[in-house]
Structure 1
Amino acid sequence: MLRFFTGKKLVIRSHNIEAYRFRDLQRPFWKIYYRYERFVHRKADHNFFITEEDLSYALDNWKLGPQKSSVVTYGVSLDSAILDVKPTLRKRLVEYFKIPHNCTLFLFNGTLNYTPNIDALHVIVYELLPRLRNHRLSFRIFICGKNLSAQWEKVLKEQPELIVTGFVDDISIFMSGTDCSINPVTLGGGIKTKLVEALAYHQTVISTQTGARGISLQLTGAKMKIVPDYDWELFANAMSNFNPYQQGNTPAPFFERYHWPAIVEKALVSLNRL
């Protein structure tokens, strides 16, 4: 309707294949939304998708024209100075939360009333913690994010290895000050922006296959370790074997792909063709 009344071109930027995200969340109306989503994208003058996987899906299943579809991913804007402050921020976290210096510091963050993240909390408490304890690993996992239910807050705070911060004003302190981000997420679609941000802070990431969707291993190298969905024994092993003192920086090609100016320039090429 907007295009009809304004005479303007219709451009859509899709963050997920929403119908299938709704399916994973067991929403009863997902098939109706699937038809609506397909209809709207077919009517658009151009469609921007956030991952190559979403683009391929739309081309194959919605029969969109490749000339009317392209990828514009999520980006970051950071300078190299972040490397200089990482040791200082780690020391600050260790001292503030009274953590033994030999502990490996992991981070899980996100909106904590979002179903995929609630499921990940269940995995952390009931799948990963028992295995990590058996490994006798000295560690802490920071849980950062808003909208944590009272029930889950009680469960998390009963675990001595978990540090529940709630919402934090500056997540960069935790992304720089912890050693590794974990993402045991098996639901949802699109690109996990928190992983892009963690890699931009030169953090190593341990993730499920679903959680890492949209991020190329060719760009991240050894900074991103992928574990098959639901293989929690292997996930715990990856955490246990992680050595924070033998970690390199995120490769330069990652920043070339996920740097906002380069992303905007690519988008403008598509828009100028309309």
Structure 2
Amino acid sequence: MLNTSVRTLFITLDLPYPPRSGAPLRNWQNMNLMRQYGNVAVFSIFKGQPPQKTLPGIQNWYHYDLAQKRPLKERLQNRLSGLTPWRYAYIDFFYTQPAVDILKQILKEWQPTIVIFEHLWLCRYLPIVQRYPCQIIFDEHNVEVDLFEQKIQQMMGLRLKTKMKLEKFHLQFMEKKMAYKADQIWVCSQSDAEKLKQRYGKNLNPYVVPNGINVTDYDIVRRGECISAFEGKSNPHTLIFIGTFGYPPNVEAAEFLTQKFYPEIKQLYPNTLLILVGKNPPPALKNATQQEPGILWTGLVEDVKPYLAAATIVITPLFKGGGTRLKILEAFAADRPVVSTTKGAEGLDIENKKHLFIENEVEGMVDAVDQLWSNPSLYQQCVDNAYNLVKTHYSWDAVANRIQPLIQNLFKINS
């Protein structure tokens, strides 16, 4: 019998709600699933103020705004740290003494049973939490050193590459420390679990807690009841790519779509509409596509479902990155077929040409889209298979079944 008096504190660098991109969607999933064991509190640390002061179903939400001026001593320390070529400054950005003071107060007064760290970038708060009698979970959304090595390979110039290689050692040290100091480490997929064990030793025991979605949230799209973003202007040849364009792999994917893929698919289907949904589109890329009426940048949207309702195919041409793609799971739940690269579908337990189409070259992607648009039977078979998969393997209920034995294990450690 599970203890129902567990108090879980999430420390996050993302806006918890509304969840509009991958990391917040994962956090919101885990926050809601941990509520079945007891009260949940959130301490968010990011630049800016939340647009709202409450979270649905969560009574305690604390926030620190990183836009506030930092203490003089801290500013001087950060300047000195910046002179150290091997130190990765992004980790220091999220750490500040005023946030430490708030965290100490939360730990003292709220007394959490479990503290869940979201992302590696909050690692400097680990020693603070270790002073209190609670279990620590490190929820690693990506294997960050793996992603950092991908960035190094892209860089031009010996000086910058050398600097990044030195920074990698600091990043690797902190990632290994978090992995071994935490009572549990959660990852998104089995492939990420294997990457961690290969990098940091077979003694490490990562637990797979998949990215999932609340499938019923997308029923309105699946049943055709959601008002389309382009009401009255239905286009059966509409593609959608969803992502945050401050993330370099998404920018690369958008460049691939607009510069290579779109000109080819337009030759087959001249009325093709490509919708790019997400915040922070690069000005250069956005300006380059403004002359093409068939490509639409939406910027940040309050709700992606009207855009899913407008689209007939979701396309995810990612060539770098890590974790698993919630955008694919959203498409599955909304009855929208997916065309993806191998990297875009990485970490998901899927079968090519059954749940989605996987292609890594322009010609293959164009052919996959053509097959889906020209063959209604194939289209329906694909969305049916995908919907069954997301419901049985990647729904919140399915993820809850993965989390339950992990929480039970923490209780055994406590007893």
On whether the aligned pair clears a TM of 0.5, the verdict is: yes
2:339 aligned partner: 206
- Correspondent of 1:69 among 206, 223, 244: 206
How many residues are aligned here? 264
Q: Mean Cα displacement is larger for which, 236-245 or 121-130?
A: 236-245
Alpha-carbon distance in 2 for matches of 1:221, 1:44: 39
Alpha-carbon distance in 2 for matches of 1:243, 1:131: 15
Shift of 1:258: 0.8
1:176 aligned partner: 309
Shift of 1:64: 4.5
Identity fraction in percent = 19
Unaligned runs of 5+ in 1: none
Alpha-carbon distance in 2 for matches of 1:240, 1:156: 23
Alpha-carbon distance in 1 for matches of 2:273, 2:130: 55
Equivalent residues in 2 for 1:14-53 (5 A)? Answer: 14-26=140-152, 28=164, 29-53=167-191
Shift of 1:174: 1.1
2:362 aligned partner: 232
Shift of 1:137: 4.8
Secondary structure at 2:358's aligned position in 1? strand
Alpha-carbon distance in 2 for matches of 1:59, 1:257: 24
Alpha-carbon distance in 2 for matches of 1:121, 1:16: 21
Asked if residue 153 in structure 1 is aligned to residue 290 in structure 2, the reply is no
For the structure 1 residues 64 and 14, does the alpha-carbon distance in structure 2 shift closer, same or farther, using more than 3 Å as the test? farther
Alpha carbons 1:221, 1:251 under 8 Å: kept: no
Q: Mean Cα displacement is larger for which, 135-144 or 243-252?
A: 243-252
Asked if residue 223 in structure 1 is aligned to residue 223 in structure 2, the reply is no
Secondary structure at 2:194's aligned position in 1? helix
Alpha carbons 1:20, 1:30 under 8 Å: kept: no
Asked if residue 266 in structure 1 is aligned to residue 396 in structure 2, the reply is no
Shift of 1:252: 1.9
For the structure 1 residues 94 and 155, does the alpha-carbon distance in structure 2 shift closer, same or farther, using more than 3 Å as the test? farther
Larger RCO, structures 1/2 (Cα 8 Å, 6+ apart): 1
2:224 aligned partner: 85
TM-score by length of 1: 0.87
For the structure 1 residues 93 and 47, does the alpha-carbon distance in structure 2 shift closer, same or farther, using more than 3 Å as the test? same
Displacement over 6 Å in runs of 4+: none
For the structure 1 residues 132 and 234, does the alpha-carbon distance in structure 2 shift closer, same or farther, using more than 3 Å as the test? same
Shift of 1:136: 4.5
1:57 aligned partner: 195
Instruction: Specify the code of the residue in structure 1 equivalent to 2:393.
Output: R
Alpha-carbon distance in 1 for matches of 2:297, 2:136: 43
Alpha-carbon distance in 2 for matches of 1:197, 1:108: 12
Shift of 1:109: 1.4
Q: C-alpha offsets along residues 24-54 of structure 1, whole Å, 9 cap, x if unaligned? A: 2238123431232122202222111111100
Q: C-alpha offsets along residues 143-182 of structure 1, whole Å, 9 cap, x if unaligned? A: 1111123322211221222122222211011113310110
- Correspondent of 1:242 among 331, 353, 372: 372
Alpha-carbon distance in 2 for matches of 1:137, 1:149: 26
Alpha-carbon distance in 2 for matches of 1:272, 1:134: 57
Secondary structure at 2:403's aligned position in 1? helix
Secondary structure at 1:182's aligned position in 2? strand
Alpha carbons 1:203, 1:223 under 8 Å: kept: no
Alpha carbons 1:205, 1:225 under 8 Å: kept: yes
Alpha-carbon distance in 1 for matches of 2:227, 2:320: 32
TM-score by length of 2: 0.59
Shift of 1:81: 4.7
For the structure 1 residues 210 and 46, does the alpha-carbon distance in structure 2 shift closer, same or farther, using more than 3 Å as the test? same
Q: C-alpha offsets along residues 56-115 of structure 1, whole Å, 9 cap, x if unaligned? A: 12223322546x4210011111324542225x645x6262xx46x4x4110011112221
Alpha carbons 2:239, 2:311 under 8 Å: kept: yes
User: Cα RMSD between the aligned structures?
Assistant: 2.3
Q: C-alpha offsets along residues 215-253 of structure 1, whole Å, 9 cap, x if unaligned? A: 1114x863311113xx22212222233227332223423
Alpha carbons 2:342, 2:358 under 8 Å: kept: yes
